[in-house]
Amino acid sequence: MALTSSPGLSPVFQIMSNRWFDGARLVVAVAVAVAITPLAPRSAAAQSRSFVVVVNASNATSSVSKGDLSKLFTKKKRNWPGGAAAMPVDLATGNPVRDAFSVKVHGRSTSAIGAYWQQQIFSGREIPPPERRDDDDVLAYVRENAGGVGYVAASAKLGNGVKALTVTD
Amino acid sequence: MSKSTTLLALAVIAAGAAGQANAQQPDYPQLTLHGYLTQGVARSDSLQVIGIDKRGTTDYRRAALLLRYATSRNESFVVQLAHRRLGNSPYAADDPDVRLDWAYYERRFASNTRMKVGRSPIPMGIYNETRYAGNTQPFYRAPFSFYFEGAYTGESIDGAVVEQRLFQSGSFGTEVSAYGGQMNLVEYSSVPQFDTNGQPTGSFAFATAKTRARNVFGTQLWVSTPIDGVRLGTGTNRYSTDAGLLGGGETKSWHASFDSRFERALARAEYRDTSMPRLGMRAWYAQAGANLFGGLWLNGQSETMTATAKDIVISPVLPPMTLELKYNRDDAIGLNYVFSPHLVLKTEVHHMKGLNFEENINPIGAPLETNYAITSLSFAF
């Protein structure tokens, strides 16, 4: 069928229509150029803040791979190797230790993980782990829950009831 | 008190309770509340597209409250109340102010199995389950040619959904879903007009009709790949309808999906083939987006639908015809500013060509064209 323009097409939109493919080519070129640009660290300061992953002292697990740790925090895995329920806890959004954990373990920024959780919430599939304001609150959560797993600043004093977990690549 | 007001009052009470529950330790039972609002302003330059006309409209909105009451780690009760406005669109003409989107019981089993019973979202394609959560979408709506707007695609099913996760420790994590029950549909079509003697007049009118799909059965398969962020999917479904705009009967469809989402870019494409006794539809779309800088994203999308319509009466002097239609082509470009995953501002321009307008269109006439634009703000909590 031959294509015909609507007689009601205004001059402004007619111009837009005539230049449509030129604009589309430019858009595709820009999108490809940006997409292949390597991801620069969102925050060099966040990267430099090291963290330690902590679990309840009764947890038999002593090490976990980065991939499995990411799955625990995105709830793609819900149990420890022995079958006990995992209970991850995040630091609050905006905390630089959380930013560093997100880039190092998830390979994504906190914002990108936030977008993942929006998809999970509004598809009715899952809700994100609880958030705690600071290191002390995270340690208290992990101490109180046998399956608890969290992360705190490397300089934090762990105290009784929690232990550090080795994260392997 | 109207049903809508009652539903809203219950939601407000539950929201108060959820606020209290969220502040406590995460012991069970646990009540959580989430929600979203997307408000749009839209205008076309000539023809009406899904409620958007030349006069423009701000009656373009989608909102929802989602309550989850978890009695334990493995059991939840979920309710979603929703509000939708589509300007002058016949699709939403009879929508109540507040309707029950979802109401289901969910049970998880240790074997990575999940079951939902009640009214729950249908797992189909990339966007069906989150189609109205504007902060999760590159554009105002999911591609219409594939997902429609409640038409021909059920958004939720009254029945059961079962999901099984497999191979989660490996690089090819797999998720298989199956669902069955009944669902509500909206059919739409250009319907030939008849005179008082029952003879076709040669003119057509845009019509919609609500119908109930029965004996619904569908499946969905997602396979992750070793490339983080990339997955492939496919699915099928079938259902039966009583005589409606298209004569009723059995409908079957299948689809294939490609989904890639990275930190600063996304690329998605889907294809869907649907066959009904008198209508066959083939739809596909491709989307791409790139994060330019900060929270600014540039997105592009092209979607197409072709159709084969059988036994169409065009004129009183012609026998029923089979029509091959280039039904819809919609190319769009948009800019989004992502203030946060919870707050997104979008502006998008679409160029649309074909027959998919809410106008009285002759299906054998030349395809029509229009441009339309939508600016929207999406907020979620």
Who among A39, A109, A118 is closest to B135 (CB)? A118
**Could A112 and B380 be called an inter-chain contact, meaning their C-beta atoms sit closer than 8 Å?**
no
Q: Is A79 domain-assigned?
A: yes
- What's the structural domain count of chain A? 1
Interface contact B366-A2, CB threshold 8 A: yes
pLDDT digits (tens, 9 = 90+) for A40-55: 444 444 444 699 999 9
Chain B hits for A9, CB-CB cut-off 8 Å, are 45-46, 369-371
- pLDDT, tens only, B229-255: 999 999 999 999 987 777 788 999 999
pTM: 0.85
Nearest by CB to B290, which of A5, A31, A108? A31
Strands A90-91 and A131-132, by their bridges, are parallel
Flag whether pLDDT at A4 surpasses 70.
no
Q: At residue B199, what are phi and psi to the nearest 5 degrees?
A: -95, 140
Judging contacts by C-beta atoms under 8 Å, the chain A residues touching residue B32 are 127
Q: What is the mean pLDDT of each run of 10 residues along chain B (381 residues)?
A: 61 54 58 97 94 95 96 95 91 84 94 94 94 95 88 80 90 94 84 76 75 94 95 96 80 97 96 92 97 97 93 75 88 97 97 88 82 98 96
Q: Within a 13 Å sphere around the CA of B105, how many CA atoms are in the beta-carbon half?
A: 5
Residue B228 to residue A118, Cβ atoms within 8 A: no
Q: Do B265 and A85 touch (CB under 8 A)?
A: no
Q: Where are the domains of chain B?
A: 35-380
A-chain residues near B340 (CB < 8 A): 111, 114
Work out the mean pLDDT of chain A and round it to a whole number.
80
Cβ-nearest to A31 among B168, B228, B300? B300
Q: Which of A139, A132, A145 is nearest to A157 (CA)?
A: A139
CB contact under 8 A, A9 and B73: no
- A65 is a domain residue: yes
Name the token pair of A31. Answer: 């999108």
Whether residues A31 and B291 touch (CB distance < 8 A) is answered with no
pLDDT tens sequence across B147-186: 988 655 668 999 999 999 998 877 899 999 999 999 988 8
- Whether A130 is covered by a domain: the verdict is yes
CATH class of B35-380: mainly beta
Nearest CB partner across the interface for A123, out of B130, B264, B300: B130
Write out the E strands in chain A: 51-56, 63-65, 87-88, 90-91, 131-132, 148-153, 162-168
ipTM of the complex: 0.89
Instruction: Look at residue A13 and tell me if it is in a domain.
Output: no
What range defines the domain where residue A100 resides?
44-168
Residue A38 burial (10 A CB sphere; 0-12, 13-18, 19+): exposed
Kindly determine whether residue A35 and residue B265, on different chains, have CB atoms separated by under 8 Å.
Answer: yes
Cβ atoms of A39 and B263 within 8 Å: the answer is: yes
Which CATH number covers residue A89?
Answer: 3.40.190.10
Alpha-carbon distances of A169 from A75, A104, B117, B263, B315, rounded to whole Å: 19, 10, 40, 20, 70
Please count the residue pairs, one from chain A and one from chain B, whose beta carbons lie less than 8 angstroms apart: 139
Say if A134 falls within a structural domain. Answer: yes
